[in-house]
Structure 1
Amino acid sequence: MKKVIEQIEKNHEQMFHYLRNIVEQESFSADKERLDSLALWLSDTFKELIGGKTEIIEVEKYGNHVRCEWGEGDGQILILSHFDTVWPIGTLKKMPFRVEGDRVSGPGVFDMKGGLIQGVFALKAIRDAGIALSKKVVVLFDSDEEIGNPSSRFYIEQEAKKSDRVFVLEPGMTIEGGLKTARKGVGIYRMEVTGIPSHSGVDPEKGVSAIDELAHQIIWLHGQTDFKTGTTINVGKISGGSATNVIAEKAVAEIDVRGKTTEELERVHNMLMELEPINERTKLIMSGDINRMPLERTEHVQEMFQTAKRIAKEHLGVELVEKETGGGSDGNLTAPFAPTLDGLGAVGDGAHANHEHLLLSRINERCALLAGLIMNYAGVQKEEGVEAEQSRRS
């Protein structure tokens, strides 16, 4: 670890340069052209700084993804980082890359381009220290996490099935930089109600309002939220009706479900699929499914956190904490297939908010933490020394 930390400190200015570069390449989830351009940059950057093999995974509708591989051996460690952001193109003009004291701000700097760059430089530090690992490291940069992984899910899950451990470079939790050892799973549903239309002034008694039925369903659904167990049901969007003087024939609700365990998500799913109309004169159609399973705090995940905590305390003088969150990430997709530790990215605040920023003083520390975890779980085969390694590569 001492050699790796020395390399990280040596490369700090270069790491900052690449951080600025990637933040100033805007990469809104819906802009395929810019995402594809950044994918090429990531591929070139990985080859330039680390070596190994890179592959552009071409996608027709969404941004391309990048798969990078470094090292060799039996088994693999998977590192995940998305490079799309929620910020529309042009945000950089009003929210430029800026350094104010210890705060570095800009669109996507915290979620999650800071973590991405830290991950690249963690591998570079291992390489520059002349350390050969016993397992290969696969890094997957995906372009559509912010919109639910419509095209990257398959590739993420395939890599997870082949991996011994997964590290996700999403931001740490709160200003403490807590690692995420649990994430709720997510379900996405749609409720369609059909009533009987009629004139609200002439024949109101002949109509049955779909909006009225939907309203009663929403009240019941929200009543199923249980903060003690962590299960939440939220109707976040509704639509319906055709005119103010018409008893509504149609009404629709879009529903978000969160749960801490697979068992609980499946329970809620079955409950939703079995819903019946409150007013028997209406018709109700439910559609949707579990979008991503939870990242549960299993024994393997707890062991990974304890390892991270030991590395942080012994080598970095940092007392690491763990957190759980209701938000989803790439880690939810890998958790069913391989032990996953999330939140290893930047320390800061303001994901998806105007005050988005990371703390410059924590970059080296987080980079070193990831490097330590990689070496621990990939295994150190040999240490050649910096000069020997550079000579070998040349």
Structure 2
Amino acid sequence: MSLKQIAFAVLTLACATVQAATLSPIEQRIVADVKAHNEQGLQLLERAVNINSGTMNHAGVRAVGALFRDQFEQLGFQTRWAEMPASVQRAGHLIATREGKQGKRLLLIGHLDTVFEKDSPVALWQRNGDRVRGQGVTDMKGGDVILIQALHALKRAGALDNTRISIIFTGDEENAGNPVEVSRADMLALAKHSDLALAFENTARNKQGGDTGTVGRRASSDWEVTVQGKQGHSSGVFSERAGYGAIYEAARILDGFRQQVIEPDLTFNPGLIAGGTGVSVEGSRAQVAGKNNIISPNASVKGDLRYLNYEQRDRAHAKMRAIVAASLPGTSASIEFHEHYPPMAPTAGNLALLKIYSQTSADAGLGEIPAFPPGERGAGDIQFVAPMLDSLDGLGATGSGTHSPDEELEISSIERATIRTALLLYRLTR
């Protein structure tokens, strides 16, 4: 053995000794158990991914739910399937609970559905060395399996008894059923009897390529601007008699938004615009008619608004309303706002929870976990309970290409995240 090899071996032994010193004996057994059963976790993930569970494929969502329900029952949880009313048009949710008197009351959140509907041409499961491509492999069946495997490790270590854990795997995270007051009622009910919420959406990578934790996510909401003008001959446009028409007024409003409402972590995107002599907008589709020589009497703009906290939302709403109200001559306009996902603000409680998670990861020799910039993550289920509980998201698998045909999982992230999760759950439930 060369001097370099000897030095490397000594360094490796020293690192292992430091790690062992920061983990208790039972925590060391939990880590060893996760590693010993990692292949079983990958097999469970393959079974789940090989079931198409696009949000509107209700049979597929229920089938994945049944697969995971069996796992929770093996772990000693009480399980039930929460059906949705027919009017909501969603498959429902898997709920698993266990009662105890020890440690924090935890609410753990995952989802069963994917963005890939039944007719998707994307392959279900394709393993290529240390990576896997497939429908929902990272978002978020990988995260579901990480949670399940962590619980199995705790059970085998005798650390699951007397814990207070509630789990909900929703069937419609990618396209929440309306009204959300109904589709998220079960989640909110569980939150009322919990102290902390953890969600297992995919782990976001920072610019340095390391794993992160999610302490904040922006709200998702909609807005719609409706504009009226005076229909007339185009030769009179800009005159006091004819005014500017609805399309010019819509353009003024949008440019006003662009110039006056911008601030960090706030976005507002006009996704649909229609204007002319006849405008009909239904959902995400519009029908319109018009002529070059007619001043447009109608225009409609629909867009989304994403914000990090309610103070930011209120500032944006006030500025947007003021811009809409300053109408060009011969026009009038109004704006309406519709809320969907509430914000998960990066609170002190969320940051404190991340600190515990980061220390757990460091103690296991997996490095510290920084916060991912909250303004860079989209909406997720945890946002419905974040206003009620200290919360942390992004505890799931690491990969790339989510919501695309290139969705891919880094296989090694399953073991890494399962170790972190098992140790975190152990420490929170002592």
Question: Which bin holds the TM-score, normalised by the shorter protein?
Answer: 0.7 to 0.9
Q: Counterparts of 1:230-249 in structure 2 under 5 Å? A: 230-241=265-276, 242-245=289-292, 246-249=294-297
Q: What TM-score does the superposition give when structure 1 sets the normalisation length?
A: 0.88
- Confirm whether residue 95 of structure 1 aligns to residue 103 of structure 2: no
1:356-375 Cα offsets, whole Å, 9 max, x none, are 11111121110111111112
Letter aligned with residue 88 of structure 1: E
CA deviation vs aligned residue, 1:23-60 (integer Å, no higher than 9, x gap): 1111112333332333333323322x423111111012
Partner of 2:406 in structure 1? 355
User: Which AA in structure 2 matches 1:76?
Assistant: R
1:285 aligns with 2:334: yes
- Once the 2 structures are TM-superposed, how far is the Cα of residue 186 of structure 1 from its aligned partner? 2.7
Q: Which amino acid aligns with 1:77?
A: L
> SS state of the match for residue 104, structure 1?
strand
Report the counterpart of residue 6 of structure 2 in structure 1: none
CA distance in 2 between counterparts of 1:198 and 1:7 reads 77
1:39 corresponds to which of 62, 65, 70: 65
Residue equivalent to 1:16: 42
User: 2: distance between equivalents of 1:156 and 1:260?
Assistant: 21
Determine the structure 1 residue equivalent to 2:389: 338
Q: How does 1:1-394 map to 2 (within 5 A)?
A: 1-47=27-73, 49-59=74-84, 60=86, 61-73=89-101, 76-91=105-120, 93-148=121-176, 150=178, 151=180, 152-174=183-205, 175-198=209-232, 200=234, 206=242, 208-227=244-263, 229-241=264-276, 242-245=289-292, 246-274=294-322, 275-324=324-373, 325-379=376-430
Give the gaps of 5 or more residues in structure 1.
Answer: 380-394
- Distance (whole Å) between structure 1 residues aligned to residue 65 and residue 233 of structure 2: 56
> Cα 1:244–1:32, aligned 2, differ >3 Å: closer, same or farther?
farther
SS at match of 1:88: coil
2:331 partner letter: T
Q: Which amino acid aligns with 2:414?
A: I
2:98–2:163: 8 Å Cα contact kept in structure 1?
Answer: no
Q: Does structure 1 conserve the Cα–Cα contact (< 8 Å) formed by 2:261 and 2:319? A: no
Given that residues 265 and 290 in structure 1 are in contact (C-alpha distance below 8 angstroms), is that contact kept between their aligned partners in structure 2? no
Which is worse superposed, 115-124 or 157-166? 157-166
Q: Deviations over 1:135-186 (max 9, x none)?
A: 4111101122222464432222222232111101011112522111222223
Structure 1 residues 7 and 192: CA distance shift in structure 2, 3 A: same
Task: Kindly report the root-mean-square deviation, in angstroms, between the aligned alpha carbons of the 2 structures.
Answer: 2.3
**In structure 2, how many angstroms separate the alpha carbons of the residues matched to 1:226 and 1:134?**
50
Q: Is the 2:361–2:369 contact (alpha carbons within 8 Å) kept by the matching residues of 1?
A: yes
What's the CA shift for 1:273?
4.3
Q: Secondary structure of 2:45's partner?
A: helix
- After superposition, the Cα gap between the structure-2 partners of 1:369 and 1:265, relative to the gap in structure 1 and judged at 3 Å, is same
Largest Rg, 1 or 2: 2
Q: Which runs of 5+ in 2 are unaligned?
A: 1-26, 277-288
Range that drifts further, 53-62 or 275-284: 275-284
Q: Which whole-Å CA distance do the structure 2 matches of 1:305 and 1:345 have between them?
A: 14
Give a deviation string over 1:313-358, Cα, whole Å, max 9, x none: 1124333222123411112222110000010000111111232111
Give, as a single letter, the amino acid of the residue that structure 2 aligns with 1:357.
Answer: E
For 1:12 and 1:203, the matched residues in 2 are separated by 70
**Paired residues, what number?**
376
Q: Percent identity?
A: 24
User: How many Å separate the matches in 2 of 1:202 and 1:272?
Assistant: 29
With 238-247 and 161-170 compared, the bigger mean Cα shift is at 238-247
Per-residue deviation, 1:225 = 4.4
Structure 1 runs (4+) greater than 4 angstroms displaced: 199-208
Cα pair 2:55 2:115 within 8 Å, conserved: yes
Deviations 1:189-238 (A, max 9, x none): 111112233354799974752222111111111223435x3222221222
Contact 1:222/1:235, CA 8 A, preserved across alignment: no
Question: Are the counterparts in 2 of residues 176 and 347 from structure 1 also a CA contact under 8 Å?
Answer: no
